[in-house]
Homo-oligomer: A and B are copies of this chain.
Amino acid sequence: MTSAQTPEEPEPEAARQLPPATVSRLTLYLRMLNGLLAEGVERVSSDSLAESAGVGSANVRKDLSYLGSYGTRGVGYEVANLSRKIAQALGLTHEWRVAIVGAGNLGRALARYAGFESRGFDVVALLDADQMLVGTEIGWLRVSDAADLEEVLAKTRANMVVLALPASVAQSVCDRVVDAGVHSILSFAPVVLNVPDYVNLRKVDMATELQILAYHAQRLQVPGLDAERPSA
């Protein structure tokens, strides 16, 4: 690879499209690297990273190779440098302002979740349609009226939205968010949302996760079914 065959711009450090599976593992590596940074560790090997992240070391090396060759053969990777490269590739050098729509149990939990702040995501608004909640304080935020969604998004210059609301209203709120120009959405609503394909939508569904667990648990409980034999 690295052949100078590209007839177009050489693109010095711009990472091209990363495989989705790689992107999600990069977030893992970044977490481990930041842990190592805090401990003062300066170098790390792909083997060591692999063990912490629970993947194969060849996988780690291939993932990192998409970012460029930032390791040193025979030695490993420089923690601080690699951490910076990954953060850059993931777009964490931008400032991300997150609005949470839905101040129910889950929305409140998310609003107070320290993990967002510490990773560079700034929760700038919390909205709900329930007039009983509007105006109350949760964490350090005052709950805004979901009726004013567009204004609140504009005023806070939110560029990400988290949907923490019932399935019944998720689609309509989602549509308004998209129309308002926010095209990165994380939904916790247990429903499939339709969005234009220029919108980045991710979904977390807790009931689905439990159902997947149930499948695997049940499979183990059935005796004698899966005795994988090389050949009978």
Contact = CB atoms under 8 A, between A and B. Distances in A.
How many copies of the shown chain assemble into the complex? 2
A23 B96 CA distance: 33
Contact of A119 (B90, B185, B210): B210
B217 A91 contact: yes
A140 interface: no
Interface stretch (A40-48, A63-71, A127-135, A199-207): A199-207
A59 B30 CA distance: 34
A212 B17 contact: no
Interface of A: 9, 11, 13-18, 23-24, 27-28, 30-32, 52-54, 89-94, 96, 98, 104-106, 108-110, 112-113, 115-116, 119, 121, 159-160, 183-186, 190-192, 194, 198, 200, 202, 204-222, 224-226, 228
